[in-house]
Amino acid sequence: MKQLKDKVVVVTGGAQGLGKAMCERFAYEGAEVVYSLDLQKGNLTADNVRHQELDVTNIAEIDSFIQSVKEAYGRIDVLVNNAGVTRDALTQKMDDNKWESVMDINLKGVFHMTKAIAPIMMENGSGSIINISSIVGLYGNIGQANYAATKAGVIGMSYTWAKEFTRKGAAVRTNVIAPGFIETDMMKTVPEKVLQPLRDQTPLKRLGLPEEVANAALFLASDESSYVNGHVLSVDGGLRL
Ligand code: NAD
């Protein structure tokens, strides 16, 4: 049995990396449609995946997209807030531009996407919201004060939404995935001299794969996790220990 049969799914930042792996897995699991919302198209090929050019910082674009999905399907079952960026610098060298751009995309983008979609889920009585945080949001990382603040903020918002969106009896669940270090383009900026110690410190002795995060997202998106709400699921090979 396909785990997302007939679901309408929205994934931000779906063109590459973790988002792409999630779009492909969700499509394979029978979703009626998976919308990949991204600045770029990428090369998603499944018939039921649709690219929509959208900037998560642009409220007008979000509203017009939501209106079109409402007209086409009348519902959204799963939202994955995955789009995210890094603009690293040590705190004393971090300019406002680096701070604000990361806040706008990683934190405000998640807020605005969810603000637009949660009411549709609540009206329909069910839904699953999955926010992609990071091990850095839980434990910090040198050179990533801006990124860590957004990823910790996402966890706080998620705990709040796990309470808010279930008021009045709606089964709208909000959960978080906190990946460790996963092999995507985002990691290409990290020098090998940093990566090797990370592999060594991870009990599983390797970086993660995008598909391994997609597996965790599938669990949280599907009815298999129907009593899981307000949870942070680490997918980090045990690096946090
Ligand atoms: P990536 O850079 O490979 O992909 C991110 C995607 O987001 C890109 O396709 C990009 O075009 C899109 N995007 C960026 N800004 C956007 C915007 N304003 N509107 C819409 N789309 C936008 O990154 P990734 O490694 O796949 O990371 C995905 C998520 O997982 C991010 O939130 C990241 O912080 C988080 N994460 C990644 C890792 C890792 O090791 N790769 C670890 C922990 C958390």
* Digit-coded pLDDT (tens) for 24-49: 999 999 999 999 999 999 999 899 99
At residue 187, the pLDDT reads 87
The 3-state secondary structure of 203-216, one letter per residue: CCCCCECHHHHHHH
Q: Give me the percent of the chain exceeding a pLDDT of 90.
A: 96
Q: For residue 168, how far is its CA from the centre of ligand 1 (angstroms)?
A: 34
Pocket test for ligand 1, best of 10, 39, 56 (most atoms within 8 A of CB): 39
Residue length of the chain: 241
Query: What is d(CA 83, CA 56) in angstroms, rounded to the nearest whole number?
Result: 8
Domains of the chain: 8-229 (3.40.50.720)
User: Which tokens hold the place of 159?
Assistant: 């705990």
Q: For residue 82, how far is its CA from the centre of ligand 1 (angstroms)?
A: 6
Instruction: Check: pTM over 0.90? Answer yes or no.
Output: yes
Which pLDDT band holds residue 112 (cuts at 50, 70, 90)? very high
Residue predicted with more confidence, 191 or 154: 154
Q: Is 159 a catalytic residue?
A: no
In 38-176, which residue ranges form alpha helices assigned H by DSSP? 59-73, 96-102, 109-124, 135-139, 145-164
Which pLDDT band holds residue 188 (cuts at 50, 70, 90)? confident
